């Protein structure tokens, strides 16, 4: 039994996929995979509808988009039920990782957009200021393809969609085939808020549909998912000279310094390794703890992990593994660690009695050559390696192909910031983790193989538009000094500018 399995094609010849819940592995529905023709048709409709949407003021769009918060709140029980069925995440995680951030993102961006996307004058620097003016206008790109993964299917669909809509684009969302209905709720809520049907659409399907969308003639792709797929999408976008943001996988390091609050660090290590059953792109995937406090730290982690409740019910801390495919990766990484000498302190086993579960697991005596410290595991595992110094922890944290996020745990925040500056990651938290994506002001994006571009921060919102500079002449004279015909005077004036503006201390007034 697989969570996603191919069914016989429909009478129209389209591929169908059957879905099971990771809770109990019972059938929960099916989707028909959108073909390249379906994608082309959706893009055509989106292009027509986008014109009227873009013609509205940004204030008008923001007022409509903001009403999606009301729709989310009104439907929260249904959204949670869908999320629970499709992912098996706990109710607390449905609220904490999906409903709450989705409301926050929609509210934040719709409040920010009227200011951040407003036409404005930008002051020119000294040398040009007397001659020209500059105005900036944000022009929508057109139709944006948003392709999302299964681990945060509602909030990760809502965030880029809200930003792209606010900037005046139409959006075609291609959710993961594992969690199609959870993501489709985002689209329903935008429709209920008043966004016209063809301005925001959902396309069900798997990689075939995603690939058709990327090649279908849209104007930007916002992709969240694995490095493997992200690389293919990056290549396809490059071939079309089309902008894209790629939010990819990670192997986030947690550095526990000798002066850390050990209890907070231990609780933080467990929570941020296990949250969402460990299936968080910026979850803690590897812990480096300095030797001096390692005994105490590991003892506290052991107590915490031993106390965790997992299973399909409402009264648990850790839910299901959302996709059985992920179970194979988790099993493989733990087995590799065991063979190479790691200690499995707790857990280390699959449990399929009531669905797709992996027991909350603690590994110690872990070393840096193990796959559990090098490849994204995406499972409920806290893996701890002891290090001789903070410098060694920084070196190991940086010894990775990934660079999504990281965390430093110390009572000395200034030292934490110094360490943060040395870590090769797109974002760093101090005395917390798994947080940066949830801070919309923070320009969240990965380094190295973890991605390209950022999904939050003002730059992210503006990246759904073309930032159009309009340069305006101030004086309207018949001719500029440096236009034809070139004369001795032309050259002399240019040389004077060089000599007296840039060749003296006066140049500081012209910057």
CA nearest to 20, candidates 224, 350, 320, 313: 320
Interaction of residue 225 with ligand NAD, rule CB under 6 A: yes
To which H or E segment does residue 169 belong? none
C-alpha 94, offset from chain centre: 17
Q: Pick the binder of ligand NAD from 107, 226, 398, 422 (CB under 6 A).
A: 226
User: Closest CB to ligand NAD among 108 and 297?
Assistant: 108
User: Closest CB to ligand NAD among 151 and 158?
Assistant: 151
CA nearest to 157, candidates 177, 178, 187: 187
Catalytic residue among 93, 281, 376, 429: 281
* Distance of alpha carbon 472 from alpha carbon 135, whole angstroms: 8
Catalytic residue among 98, 177, 247, 298: 247
**Angle at the Cα of 433 from the Cα atoms of 175 and 84, rounded to 5 degrees:** 40
* Distance of alpha carbon 62 from alpha carbon 407, whole angstroms: 34
Q: Pick the binder of ligand NAD from 155, 201, 229, 456 (CB under 6 A).
A: 229
Question: What is the number of residues in the chain?
Answer: 511
The least CB distance from residue 279 to ligand NAD, in Å, is 7
Interaction of residue 181 with ligand NAD, rule CB under 6 A: no
Closest-CB residue for ligand NAD?
210
Site string for ligand NAD, 117-156 (x = CB under 6 A): ------------------------------xxxxxx---x
Q: Annotated catalytic, 263?
A: no
Q: Annotated catalytic, 189?
A: no
* Distance of alpha carbon 137 from alpha carbon 469, whole angstroms: 6
Count of chain residues binding ligand NAD (CB under 6 A): 32
* Distance of alpha carbon 250 from alpha carbon 447, whole angstroms: 10
SS3 275: helix
Site string for ligand NAD, 155-174 (x = CB under 6 A): -x-----------------x
Interaction of residue 375 with ligand NAD, rule CB under 6 A: no
Here the tokens at position 441 are 């002001």
Interaction of residue 457 with ligand NAD, rule CB under 6 A: no
* Distance of alpha carbon 361 from alpha carbon 308, whole angstroms: 10
Q: Which residues are catalytic?
A: 247, 281
Name the site residues for ligand NAD (rule: CB under 6 A).
147-152, 156, 174-177, 206-207, 210-211, 214, 224-226, 229, 232-233, 247-250, 281, 376, 404, 437, 446, 451
């Amino acid at each position: 039994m697989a969570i996603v399995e191919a069914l016989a094609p429909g009478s129209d010849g389209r591929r169908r996929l059957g879905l099971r819940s990771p809770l109990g592995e019972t059938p929960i529905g099916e989707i028909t995979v959108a073909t390249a023709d379906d994608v082309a048709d959706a893009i055509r409709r989106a292009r027509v509808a986008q014109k009227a949407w873009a013609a509205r003021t940004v204030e008008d769009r923001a007022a409509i988009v903001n009403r999606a918060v009301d729709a989310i709140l009104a439907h929260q029980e249904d959204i949670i039920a869908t999320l629970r069925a499709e992912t098996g995440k706990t109710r607390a995680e449905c609220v904490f990782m999906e409903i709450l951030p989705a409301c926050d993102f929609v509210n934040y961006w719709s409040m920010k957009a009227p200011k951040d996307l407003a036409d404005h004058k930008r002051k020119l620097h000294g040398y040009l200021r007397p001659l020209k003016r500059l105005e900036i206008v944000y022009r929508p790109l057109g139709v944006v393809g948003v392709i999302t993964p299964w681990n945060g299917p509602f909030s990760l669909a809502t965030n880029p969609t809200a930003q792209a809509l606010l900037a005046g684009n139409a959006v075609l969302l291609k959710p993961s085939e594992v969690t199609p209905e959870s993501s489709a709720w985002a689209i329903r809520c935008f429709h209920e808020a008043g966004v016209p049907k063809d301005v925001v659409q959902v396309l069900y399907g798997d990689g075939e549909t995603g690939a058709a969308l990327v090649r279908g003639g849209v104007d930007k792709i916002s992709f969240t998912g694995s490095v493997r797929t992200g690389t293919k999408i990056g290549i396809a976008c490059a071939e079309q000279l089309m902008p894209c943001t790629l939010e990819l996988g990670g192997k986030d390091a947690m550095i526990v310094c000798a002066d850390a609050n050990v209890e907070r660090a231990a609780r933080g290590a467990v929570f941020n390794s296990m949250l969402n059953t460990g299936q968080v792109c910026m979850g803690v995937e590897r812990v480096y703890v300095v030797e001096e406090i390692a005994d105490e730290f590991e003892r506290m982690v052991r107590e915490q992990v031993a106390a965790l409740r997992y299973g399909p019910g409402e009264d648990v801390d850790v839910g299901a593994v959302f996709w059985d495919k992920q179970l194979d990766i988790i099993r493989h990484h733990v087995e590799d660690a065991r063979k190479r000498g790691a200690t499995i302190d707790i857990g280390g086993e699959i449990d399929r009695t009531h669905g797709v579960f992996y027991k909350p697991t603690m590994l110690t005596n872990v070393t840096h050559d193990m796959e559990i410290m090098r490849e994204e595991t995406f499972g409920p595992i806290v893996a701890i390696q002891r290090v001789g110094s903070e410098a060694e922890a920084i070196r190991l944290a940086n010894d990775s192909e990934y660079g999504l996020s990281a965390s430093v745990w110390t009572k000395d925040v200034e030292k934490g910031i110094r360490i943060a500056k040395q870590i090769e990651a797109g974002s760093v938290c101090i005395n917390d983790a798994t947080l940066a994506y949830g801070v919309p002001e923070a320009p969240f994006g990965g380094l190295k193989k973890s991605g390209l571009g950022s999904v939050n921060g003002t730059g992210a919102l503006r990246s759904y538009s073309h930032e159009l500079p309009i340069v305006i002449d101030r004086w309207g004279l018949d001719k500029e000094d440096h236009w034809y015909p070139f004369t001795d005077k032309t050259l002399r004036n240019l040389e004077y500018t060089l000599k007296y503006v840039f060749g003296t201390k006066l140049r500081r007034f012209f910057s």
